Structure 1
Amino acid sequence: MHPDICKLAEAVVEECAGLPLTLITIGRAMASKKTLREWEYAIEVLRQSAASVLPGVGKEMYPKLKFSYDCLPDERFRSCFLYCSLYPEDYFIDKDELVDFWIGEGFLDKHTNLSSARNQGHFIIGSLINACLLEKGHRNDRVKMHDVIRDMALWIAGESEKEKFFVKSGVQLKEQPKAKKWEEVTRMSLMGNQIENLTEILECPKLQTLFLGRNDLKVIMNDFFNSMPMLRVLDLSYNVNLEELLVGIAKLVSLEHLNLSETRIKKLPVELKALAKLKYLNLEWTRDLEMIPQQLISSFSKLQVLKMERCGYGCLLVLEEMEHLKYLNVLTLSFKSASELEKASRFNKFFSCAIERVCLEYFRDSRSLNIMALAKLQHLCTLRLSRCWDLEEVKIERNITEGAGCFHSLRTVILDECNHLRDVSWVTFAPHLEELYILDCKGLEEIISEEKLGEVAELKGNSNLFSKLEILHLWGLPKLKTIYQHALPFPQLKEIYIRRCPMLKKLPLNSNSAKGQRLVIFGEEGWWKDVEWEDESTKIAFLPSFRPF
């Protein structure tokens, strides 16, 4: 490196005033700068910005950090970054949810398909992490914002002429807040509060984003949305007391993204047909939803994403309407019987769409389930079997050929209250499985049956079992004796969580398992004392991994 750059680097360090986060963030921004002129310019910018800030909180920190914001490649990256400040402080943000919001806002390029747009969104998230403007969450699918970075983002948004944020998220509000100039606000977040009623009309002609999720909403006055003609994104999720969706929502003629998940709404008003631009509709976990008017779903001609996992209204009732939606390419669904699943597989959209999540629940008509139709879904990420009380067996096909791509995208499997299942050997057909949760399955005796693997030629002697597994949660399995008979490498395993599994005495671990990983094993202290180890070196290797409840 040019010797003069060392002196300039010292000057940059001086401008950082000993603040570690500033040093890291600006250091990351300067890592690619190789010439004197770039370093001289950086010092000039840092000094100028310090002088331009009004006295008060953040006058030392924010201008320096803003340099990293200014170094982002373009306005798209900056808008995506500022958007993260709408979430509450210390909030773990779901990456997929965030990217879907960005798509609804129109931040990303016009892509030929949704998958490409999502890939671009995840690329931007990676870039923001590399720039130290976002932090990795405790799970791969989450990110969070450092408190200081979030404050800086809100400061930037407050100084902006283009963007006017009104953010009161996670601050224990009980009533609808007041503001002097609603007409200038472009993005508003009131999520994570205890607001029960929205009874005052807000004159927000420029508002594009409204986060109302995770409140205690019971009443939204019918005219509340009257003066929001530009609104593109509306999030009402996790308002578990919200039972009625009033027809006034039909006034949101620019709406593209509507999230009603985890609400108790009982019906969708037919007036929603006015939402001609709607591209994303989330009805997941709306267990009380009993009525969707005929032809409502098919009227959303631009719909790209429809989420109906654990929706009270049967997915089968709208699958026929989905056939007419030419842009629909992402689905999440629930089925309550094997016959429902079989009927659904006759529809073209069942295979032509990217079905990302499927829940099989309350199965009453089948003791045995062949899920090969699901195995062929190329984009299935999450599969849940819930309360399938009569189900005794999930069949493994004997003649599966290698490279057929069975469960190729499956990352998460959840089983709960499937009391007659004795094993879940079929998960070995998910080569990229990352998370396995098995809860309250009273009859489960083993996770992977060696006998059943022996029946399938391709899996004999398979050393790649659970090669991508990161999280294993076992809870309330009174008959469980083994996970697998032999020790496995578990090269990616980060967390084992075992509770109320009194007969599980041995883990499939040896001294080579999870090498290089910081494995944490959560369990009851009494259970941990009785664990039988393959040898003393294995015991020594994993004793430091234990964390009691």
Structure 2
Amino acid sequence: MDVPADQQAIDGTPTCCTIHLCNELDDMLDVARNVRRLEETVARLAAQRSSVHGAIVAADDGCGEDADRLRRLGCTEEAATWLARARVAEKKANAVARRLVEERDAIGAARHGAGSFAVTANQAAPAATVGTVVAADGYLEEALGYIADDAVGVIGVCGMGGVGKTTLLRAINNSFLPSSSKKFDHVIWAVASKECSIHRLQDSVAEKLGLAKLGSLRDDHSDADLEQRALPIAEHLKNTSFLILLDDLWEYLDLKLIGVPYPDTTTGDEQRRRRKVVLTTRSEIICGKMNADRFVNVECLKPHDAWTLFERNATAATISSHPAIAGLAREVAGECRGLPLALITIGKALSTKTEPELWRHAIDKLRDANLHEITGMEEENAGMLRVLKVSYDYLPNTTMQECFLSCCLWPEDYSIEREKLIQCWLGLGLMSGSGSIDDDVDTGTRIIAALKDVRLLESGEGDGDTRGVRMHDMIRDMSIWIASECGAIRNKWLVRAGVGIRTASKLNEQWRASPEFTAERVSLMKNLIEEIPIQLPARPGVKALMLQNNTSLHAVPESFFRCVPALTYLDLSDTIVRSLPGEIGSLVNLRYLNVSGTFIGALPAELLHLTQLEHLLMSDTNVLHNIPRNVIMGLQKLKILDVFASSYTRWRLNADDGDDDGGEEASLDELEWRSTTIKFLGINVGTVAALRKLSGFANVSTRRLCLKDMAGPASLTLSPSTLSDLLGGLDMLETLQHFAVRSCAGVKDIVVDAGSDSDSDEMRRAYRLPKLEKLRLLRVNHLETIKFRQTTAAHFCPALRRIDILNCYHLKNASWVLHLPLLEYLEIHYCPDMDTIVDGDGDTTAEDDRRPPPPTFPCLKTLVLHGMKSLECLCRGVPAVGFPALEILEVGQCYALRQLDGVRPLKLREIQGSDEWWQQLEWEEDGIKDALSPYFKNHS
């Protein structure tokens, strides 16, 4: 029987152990009580045995009590047998008592993830202990349930590094000790890490099966050679039952190449029960490749359990040694974010520190992601980081490694929007960006999926293309450590994101913490910075500077750019910066500039000197009024230009319009001349002529389009032919992802009609927005209705995920949103004429009456309603309305809304609203109110 030996680092998992002793010993459910009971029983047994033995051998001066000697002394067969059994029982009971004491001390550790064990496949394992450790915790119960299931052959245990997969595997192992289980003839443990080759695994399995040494290998280690070596193992296992426990699997492993028959759930019941494989891995994809029938996902500990584990390792004595340490210890434990490996390693490292200052130092280093620099624990924490680094080392290429490391530039526990993350990777040059924008997004999406698969990233917040990812704090610490060349160059990446920097003096202090010549990236995003000092020490090697989300930052001094001359990446988005100094033209290597969401009124003419600039992002710049003539012409490598949802619409149609004054606005001709490089365009237009010219650009992919201040007829019917005439074709519809209509006057009714007689079949097939994900209607003052004829919104906008309708004062309803198949987010603000979102009494769809209606709101996760003074109900005249995916319902200033028809606690997480509104709701049944009440939160 093989039990993993102590080696490498601890990999904790939550387990709660109850000890069951088998054979002669009764079940012991209360360990502490039964240790005492067992010790008392052993003492009485020892006394009785000593008394009997003493009476028999009193006349003899020898020693020992072997059976032959006792018989020579006249002992009966019955007495000799009793003495032998008593001696064996006493020794066994003493061993069990020692084991129980150990288990008693380890119960909490096992429960909360302490104590992991990893071995290489060719190590000898210690002998098994008597008894079975059975986990009452869900993870072990789940795994044992799968093992007992006849239909399950392979079980995959997944989780990030240090979360407890190995300890769970150990608990599974201990559940099948020989004295308590006859379910398997063989239980074999092996670590199948990337360094562990097939032939080493073969040697290990053969040794554990007691087989003769396998044959030698030729130098090429061919499959045929390995298959020959596997024959003795396969022959031995073919008529036996077995449980194979494979720890730390990083790639697909052909069990048959080792000699292990693959569990086959299609065979008879006996075989099905008796051939099982349990594997641990950081990758669900590996589980899939190994044909895992079931998955056990091991996650980080909840706060209470995390504290218990940390307290045990830091020791209660140390924590109580000074009044200040208790609170500091809670902070340290919180910084570990429930990761057992961190809780144990850091707890043990601080277990001898009785000075509060050392604990404060640890907190500072944890928050600064300089874990390995904590006084007195440098080696321990560097060791822990090296364990976590294995996931990074096994990433298949440097591109994926670099993309992963860049995620640490965001603040701790921050949900990073996928779109912005991929945008960052492209801007940093981590991905080639040589294909179409769709290719780039697909590549980025695959990288995110791969990083999530090996648990280096976790799911974050958001819906649709804003769905985020985040890094566990310990993984983030590890990535910053790697970026500093595993601690060799401190602050090579100066990451001070979201740490509350406000003053110029504090910024100066942090800036000086970066090494003068080796600093490469600086992240100061999401702080409270108000100003950048005029004089900062030069950092000639810094290539990336992230200042976004400093919402009080109002200016960047010209002198600042002189201290970072090598910048290739600059992000000033979501600040209140009002202008860019002309000195920015000296950043001749700049490839990425993001000023989205700022208060910049004009681009400096010097921008045209940035001949290497590929990304110019200016969306949501609400006071932008001037893009100088010839600036875009000077940006010879421009790939992405985004001015979407800004206030700028003053595009001249032709380059020769007006004077030669360099201060004049840019022209659409300039965009057309750059069409050989631009592959993503976000733009606002204010005239039909500009829209028509834009749609004619052969190579420019318009992804984001805002119609702003554009007048139209009172009734607008959009058929394939009319829209084609308006745009000069329908090509623009194919690429559009975000579409906004803002402050367009005159239009009262919009009809989307796909059935005009003048439209060809080909034109009808092209008449849709297949990639549209976001739609925004803002201050379309006269709009009353939107209708679809001969088509549906679901067909016309099949990919629509988010809709925002704001300040459309006369809009009656939004009935067309009812069956959108992918709609996840719907927000409606200040539409005072809207008394219901969906009015089923109107002819809003073109569904075939012979078919059952599709489900209502099938994917809607978030519904936000504000300032809707006439809104009385969510849906009217719609049978069986439902919100099966709804998670968040937010209601503000909608006091006429008295019913939440169709809202049920299926996936609901929160209902936000005022207490006054909640109390005046009317319910179809009392049971519905009772079911929804736990989710209500007062947000007055």
Q: TM-score range by the shorter chain?
A: 0.7 to 0.9
| 2:891 equivalent in structure 1 | 498
- 2:477 is equivalent to residue 477 of structure 1: no
Alignment of 1:49-448 (within 5 A): 55-56=376-377, 58-59=381-382, 61-140=384-463, 141-160=467-486, 164-173=492-501, 174-175=503-504, 176-177=507-508, 178-179=512-513, 181-193=515-527, 194-200=529-535, 202-215=537-550, 216-226=552-562, 228-240=564-576, 242-314=577-649, 316-317=651-652, 319-324=668-673, 325-334=675-684, 349=700, 350=702, 351-352=731-732, 354-369=735-750, 376-394=768-786, 396-400=787-791, 405-428=795-818, 430-448=820-838
What is the CA deviation profile of residues 65-112 of structure 1, one whole-angstrom value per residue up to 9, with x for unaligned ones?
A: 223332333322222222111112232211110111111222224552
What is the CA deviation profile of residues 448-497 of structure 1, one whole-angstrom value per residue up to 9, with x for unaligned ones?
A: 12133456345886333311211111111010122212343323221111
Output the aligned Cα RMSD.
3.7
User: Any idea what SS the aligned residue of 1:224 has?
Assistant: helix
1 CA distance for matches of 2:115 and 2:544?
30
| 2:161 equivalent in structure 1 | 26
- For the 8 Å contact 2:838–2:874, the answer to whether it is kept is yes
- For the 8 Å contact 1:406–1:429, the answer to whether it is kept is no
Query: How many Å apart are 1:347 and its aligned residue?
Result: 5.7
What is the CA deviation profile of residues 312-368 of structure 1, one whole-angstrom value per residue up to 9, with x for unaligned ones?
A: 211755555333323333333445688876775566655448433233222223333
Cα separation, partners in 2 of 1:35 and 1:255, compared to 1, 3 Å: farther
Query: How many Å apart are 1:150 and its aligned residue?
Result: 2.0
Cα separation, partners in 2 of 1:336 and 1:426, compared to 1, 3 Å: farther
1 CA distance for matches of 2:403 and 2:114?
21
1 CA distance for matches of 2:615 and 2:396?
28
For the pair shown, which has the larger CA radius of gyration, 1 or 2? Answer: 2
User: Any idea what SS the aligned residue of 1:415 has?
Assistant: strand
- For the 8 Å contact 1:301–1:326, the answer to whether it is kept is no
- For the 8 Å contact 2:496–2:524, the answer to whether it is kept is yes
Q: Specify the code of the residue in structure 1 equivalent to 2:745.
A: R
- For the 8 Å contact 2:12–2:162, the answer to whether it is kept is no
What is the CA deviation profile of residues 135-190 of structure 1, one whole-angstrom value per residue up to 9, with x for unaligned ones?
A: 22232412222333222222222235799201222223222422462321111112
1 CA distance for matches of 2:844 and 2:500?
57
Structure 1 gaps, min length 5: none
Which deviates more from structure 2 when the two are superposed, residues 444-453 or residues 495-504? Answer: 444-453
Q: Specify the code of the residue in structure 1 equivalent to 2:883.
A: F
- For the 8 Å contact 1:189–1:212, the answer to whether it is kept is yes
- For the 8 Å contact 2:582–2:607, the answer to whether it is kept is yes
Query: How many Å apart are 1:132 and its aligned residue?
Result: 2.9
Cα separation, partners in 2 of 1:247 and 1:120, compared to 1, 3 Å: same
Q: Specify the code of the residue in structure 1 equivalent to 2:810.
A: H
- For the 8 Å contact 1:368–1:393, the answer to whether it is kept is yes
Structure 2 gaps, min length 5: 14-108, 117-158, 170-188, 197-246, 249-340, 350-371, 653-666, 703-730, 755-765
User: Any idea what SS the aligned residue of 1:397 has?
Assistant: strand
1 CA distance for matches of 2:459 and 2:115?
18
2 CA distance for matches of 1:115 and 1:249?
31
Cα separation, partners in 2 of 1:416 and 1:339, compared to 1, 3 Å: farther
1 CA distance for matches of 2:640 and 2:554?
27
User: Which of 10, 20, 38 does residue 193 from structure 2 map onto?
Assistant: 38
Q: Specify the code of the residue in structure 2 equivalent to 1:399.
A: Q
Query: How many Å apart are 1:255 and its aligned residue?
Result: 2.0
Cα separation, partners in 2 of 1:296 and 1:40, compared to 1, 3 Å: closer
1 CA distance for matches of 2:743 and 2:585?
35
User: Any idea what SS the aligned residue of 1:527 has?
Assistant: helix
Q: Specify the code of the residue in structure 2 equivalent to 1:408.
A: P
Cα separation, partners in 2 of 1:323 and 1:446, compared to 1, 3 Å: farther
- For the 8 Å contact 1:205–1:228, the answer to whether it is kept is yes
- For the 8 Å contact 2:495–2:522, the answer to whether it is kept is yes
- For the 8 Å contact 2:520–2:544, the answer to whether it is kept is yes
TM-score, normalization by structure 1: 0.85
User: Any idea what SS the aligned residue of 1:358 has?
Assistant: strand
Q: Specify the code of the residue in structure 2 equivalent to 1:296.
A: V
- For the 8 Å contact 1:385–1:418, the answer to whether it is kept is yes
Cα separation, partners in 2 of 1:480 and 1:164, compared to 1, 3 Å: same
What is the CA deviation profile of residues 491-526 of structure 1, one whole-angstrom value per residue up to 9, with x for unaligned ones?
A: 32211111211121222316xx564x2442222223
2 CA distance for matches of 1:537 and 1:321?
64
| 2:240 equivalent in structure 1 | none
- For the 8 Å contact 2:805–2:829, the answer to whether it is kept is yes
Cα separation, partners in 2 of 1:302 and 1:315, compared to 1, 3 Å: farther
Cα separation, partners in 2 of 1:179 and 1:540, compared to 1, 3 Å: closer
2 CA distance for matches of 1:339 and 1:523?
45
